[in-house]
Amino acid sequence: MKKIQYLLSGMLLAVMSVSCSQDMDIDSNQGYLTLNINSLVSTHDPSGTRAAAPEGYDAKTLHVEIKNAEGTVMKSTDNFAKDEEFQGNIKLLAGTYTIIAHSANWDGNGSGFGTPYYYGSSTVKVLPKSLVKGSVTCTQANVKLTVNYDQSFVNGFKSAKATISSVLEGISPLEFIMNETTQSGYIPAGDFSAKLDVVNKNDASYTLSRDFTDVQPRDHYILNFKVADEGYLGDDTNSGIEVEVDESTNTYTFTFEVPRKASISLVTRAANAWSNFAMLSADITAKTDAFKNEGVVMQWRKAGVSDWTDIANSELTIDEKDHVTTTLKGLTPETTYECRLRYVDGETEIVCEPVSFTTEKQIPLYNGGFENWWMDGNVAYANEQGVSYWDTSNKGAASFGGSNTSQETSIVHSGSSAAKLESKYIVIKFAAASLYTGSFGALKGTDGAWLNWGVEHVSRPTALKGYMQYAPANIASSGNQGFSSSAPAEAPGRGEPDVCGMYCALLSESLVVDNTDMSTFPDWETDSRVIAYGSLKDEQNVNTNGQWQEVNIPLVYRDLNRKPTHILVVFSASKYGDYFHGGKGSLLYVDDFELVYGDNPVVK
């Protein structure tokens, strides 16, 4: 990629010495910084708004800012090249600084023609009574797109339009119209699709589409279209696609030979298979002007079975990009199936190669009925001896006053036992009873402990279901026995009934948390390690008056395609116990909990 270089006048000094000359007016705790911006921007930041570049946008006009170690902006400019304060030496207090440079007046989160976006950053340490050089190397952060129509193509077709569509939400498509569009286009880094709509000399219209994946910042995609000598559009044996890659400049050149006539082409994509349903998808990659969406059906069968079963056209969704989707329900776990797309219109019948998929196993919640227990000293474990699945964070409490999480054999929903969680005040601390999937890490004095949250789990349930009894005690009305001023605002106050905690999360990795430091806890709404999450509803978090109450906690998925590696289930007799806040004597019983594998997952 061609580098664009800006050199400050101060950079024309021959050599930067370690200390400043004596005639510099500078305090003993100050130094000087001179800046060099080498080329323009690093990696696209996917956060921010999805807006096109403003009118008059010039990517070479740089916004530059200097931040201290606390993140405070000490100096900034919206036009680095013309700002006199940034020309020459910049006086700063001694310390470490971050220099950020990017194209001014826009964040690059949009599409447009002639709108490259640049970004870069570096750190520099300013020493007392010294002159140091700060350098930022910047590169193009978005993706460049160039569409060329060969003269044979221009002569062979009446009209043509290539539409580039980013997979990122809120990014407007770019249309490259033959004989009109001359500039290159730019989109944020991310996968995209290209769809070619053409009309030949006989006024027959048809389309060709292709997906582009693993698209990175600084990539340049060149799409060349020319006329094929023979064949039909959509005939895979005459696809005529040549690809050239220049890794030194991140340039990818695709040359498409497009026939003047069209056929119909279908492609079935990989299925997103859960335990008892699968999300199927396919694409109509080429079609004639006589093509009718009503002729499209999806077919499926169990592996080894000869006959296909149709999924009716009315149950399919076909979008404007000719992407076909549907959900196939009623499948058997751990079973292999096949699916394919089929088109029928009169005597025309086209089927594509089938794609196989295997449904997931429905992994149960181990010992969800809490029938199996064993004692290790004063600590009760809701596992068979030798199994590590359920654990409690109250091992320190057990050393002094007995386990506040234990086996209950008198109050049960079914079977012979349940789990009993009772919040207590032990020695000098409030100890909320808890039970979770994972393992105890280590004690932190009398204040708390390190916990390893989550056990291995690779299937995707849709809910956590079970039964509970809850008898909350009131929050301490005086002193600090169960009351903390640092508890969240939504926590019950002095003299009010306690609330229990109950939630389930599917994770991409196990979590290590310090239950005395809330900054180590995940944000269930935004943490990228959280695939799905659900918690007890407020209307269920009440005194059950000695009765068993059914609990159903739907799991809300952030992404229906990601698969977990771990599951976390947490029960607590006092929801805000990590703040040492709760009611002494709050009592929670749980029994007969299980994972539900439905066929209609909730997505955020």
Question: Using H for helix, E for strand and C for coil, what is the string for 517-543?
Answer: CHHHCCCCCCCCCEEEEEECCHHHCCC
Per the rule left: phi > 0, alpha: psi between -120 and 50, beta: everything else, 59 is alpha
Confidence of residue 516 (pLDDT cuts 50, 70, 90): confident
Instruction: Count other C-beta atoms under 10 Å from residue 502's C-beta.
Output: 25
Confidence (pLDDT) at 519: 83
Confidence of residue 47 (pLDDT cuts 50, 70, 90): very low
3-class SS at 28? coil
The residue-averaged pLDDT of 251-257 equals: 78
Confidence (pLDDT) at 425: 77
Confidence (pLDDT) at 290: 83
CA 215 to centroid of chain Cα atoms: 17
With 60 as the cut, is the pLDDT of residue 433 above it?
yes
Among positive and negative, which fits the CA dihedral 307, 309, 313, 319?
Answer: negative
Confidence (pLDDT) at 233: 45
328-373 tens-digit pLDDT:
999 999 999 999 999 999 888 899 999 999 999 999 999 999 999 9
Task: Classify domain 6-140 at the CATH topology level.
Answer: Immunoglobulin-like (2.60.40)
Confidence (pLDDT) at 269: 92
Same fold, 6-140 and 143-262: yes
Sequence-distant (6+) residues with CB within 8 A of 61 are 78, 79, 80, 81, 103, 104, 105
With 80 as the cut, is the pLDDT of residue 100 above it?
yes
Q: Which residues pair with 317 in a beta bridge?
A: 325
Residue 35, burial from CB neighbour count under 10 angstroms (0-12, 13-18, 19+)? buried
Which carries the bigger pLDDT value, residue 62 or residue 273?
Answer: 273
Q: Are 472 and 583 in contact (CB under 8 A)?
A: yes
3-class SS at 305? coil
Homologous superfamily (CATH) of 374-603 is: BT2081, beta-jelly-roll domain (2.60.120.890)
pLDDT, mean over the chain? 84
Homologous superfamily (CATH) of 267-358 is: Immunoglobulins (2.60.40.10)
Encoded tokens for 278: 């699968």
Nearest to 581 by CA among 347, 425, 377: 425
How far is CA 411 from each of CA 174, 381, 551, rounded to the nearest angstrom?
65, 18, 17
Encoded tokens for 188: 């944020």
Confidence (pLDDT) at 13: 21
399-409 tens-digit pLDDT:
555 578 999 99
304-321 tens-digit pLDDT:
999 999 999 999 999 988
Sequence-distant (6+) residues with CB within 8 A of 462 are 554, 555, 596, 597, 598, 599, 600, 601, 602
| Class at the top of the CATH hierarchy for domain 143-262 | mainly beta
Nearest to 173 by CA among 185, 184, 165: 165
Instruction: Count other C-beta atoms under 10 Å from residue 309's C-beta.
Output: 12
With 70 as the cut, is the pLDDT of residue 42 above it?
no
Confidence (pLDDT) at 31: 67
Residue 213, burial from CB neighbour count under 10 angstroms (0-12, 13-18, 19+)? exposed
225-239 tens-digit pLDDT:
888 755 444 444 444
Confidence of residue 480 (pLDDT cuts 50, 70, 90): very low
Confidence (pLDDT) at 162: 95
The model's pTM = 0.64
The residue-averaged pLDDT of 517-531 equals: 90
| Residue boundaries of the structural domains of the chain | 6-140, 143-262, 267-358, 374-603
Which carries the bigger pLDDT value, residue 209 or residue 600?
Answer: 600
Q: Are 167 and 192 in contact (CB under 8 A)?
A: yes
Confidence of residue 53 (pLDDT cuts 50, 70, 90): confident
Encoded tokens for 347: 């005597």
Q: How many helices (H) and strands (E) does the chain have?
A: 2, 50
Encoded tokens for 237: 């044996």
Which carries the bigger pLDDT value, residue 15 or residue 92?
Answer: 92
The helix (H) or strand (E) run that includes residue 603 is: strand 602-603
With 90 as the cut, is the pLDDT of residue 200 above it?
no
The long-range contacts involving 120-125, CB below 8 angstroms and separated by at least 24 positions, are 120/37, 120/39, 120/40, 120/41, 120/42, 121/42, 122/98, 123/96, 123/97, 123/98, 123/99, 124/33, 124/96, 124/97, 124/99, 125/95, 125/96, 125/97
Encoded tokens for 47: 């956060």
Q: What is the residue whose two structure tokens read 């600590």?
A: 379
Instruction: Count other C-beta atoms under 10 Å from residue 125's C-beta.
Output: 14
With 50 as the cut, is the pLDDT of residue 430 above it?
yes
Compute the distance between CA of residue 311 and CA of residue 536 in angstroms, rounded to an integer: 37
